[in-house]
Amino acid sequence: MARKRVAILISGRGSNMTALIEAAADPDFPAEIALVLSNRADAGGLARAAEAGIATAVIDHKAYGSRAEFDAAMDARLRADAIDLVCLAGFMRLLTDGFVEGWRDRMINIHPSLLPLFPGLHTHERAIEAGMRLHGCTVHFVRAQMDSGPIIGQAAVPIALDDTPDTLSKRVLTAEHQLYPLALALVASGLASVENERLVMQGDVPADLAGMLLSPHFGG
């Protein structure tokens, strides 16, 4: 089966992008990273993608008069590059309903919380303040409402009593880098799809692709 052509949308350092690029370097991975697109020319991830020999593009949102025009420019580039799937990886722009619908069930996002808990920003701080003992990350299909949509996979990490948002974010980020390639593989291979706004899996899903991780990365 042909590998799915994936575009990764970033706005910053791109550590999840790097995890996806590394996973897709394996010819058996069901997706290839065909494009890294950023709305910011200074996104650190752009140089890392270029180093890996991946096509990059900058579409600066400030050059457009409206969200709809910016999204239309991104959409045109994605379609010109024959992209099959879009991965949001620290892409810090709200997307219009039209763009989201145009990529329905073909666009996924990683969010640093166990959704539906803590959508939005400052998730680590909010999980600590709420007294949670578990936290984590979620990969989900993108819907018009921010940080919502059918969940593909989640990884849970413990919260230590002396965690700060910084120490906790590092633990979650390690889990993100494991979870995102796994979730992309599920979608790109066709094993995972959506029915009635819930995830469905086709056939026997190998245990290592089960879509849920309990993080072993807990030192104290």
- 27: Cβ–Cβ under 8 A, 6 or more apart, which residues? none
Least distance to ligand GRF, CB of residue 101, Å: 21
Distance CA 105, CA 180 (A): 16
The yes or no reply on residue 90 touching ligand GRF (CB under 6 A) is: yes
> Using a CB cutoff of 8 Å and minimum separation of 24, what contacts does 51-54 make?
52/21, 52/25, 54/21
Indicate which single residue of 7, 14, 46, 100 sits in contact with ligand GRF (rule: CB under 6 A): 14
From candidates 4, 16, 108, 179, binder to ligand GRF by CB under 6 A: 16
Q: Which of 46, 100, 112, 163 binds ligand GRF (CB under 6 A)?
A: 112
Site for ligand GRF in 119-158 (CB under 6 A): 137
Strand bridging mode 212-214 / 151-158: parallel
- Please tell me whether residue 6 adopts helix, strand or coil conformation: strand
Whether residue 124 contacts residue 112, with contact meaning beta carbons closer than 8 Å, is answered with: yes
Contact stretch for ligand GRF (CB under 6 A) within 50-58, 67-75, 108-116, 196-204: 108-116
Helix 44-51 to helix 15-24 angle, to the nearest 10 degrees? 20
Q: Is 111 in the site for ligand GRF (CB under 6 A)?
A: yes
Q: Toward ligand GRF, which CB reaches closer, 169 or 205?
A: 169
Is there binding between residue 89 and ligand GRF (CB under 6 A)? yes
> Residue 107 phi/psi, 5° resolution?
-135, 130
CB of 137 to ligand GRF, least distance (A): 6
| Options 111, 124, 135, 177, the catalytic residue | 111
111 is catalytic: yes
The answer to whether 49 and 36 are in contact (CB under 8 A) is yes
Residues that bind ligand GRF in the complex, under the rule CB under 6 A: 10, 12-17, 89-90, 110-112, 137, 173, 176
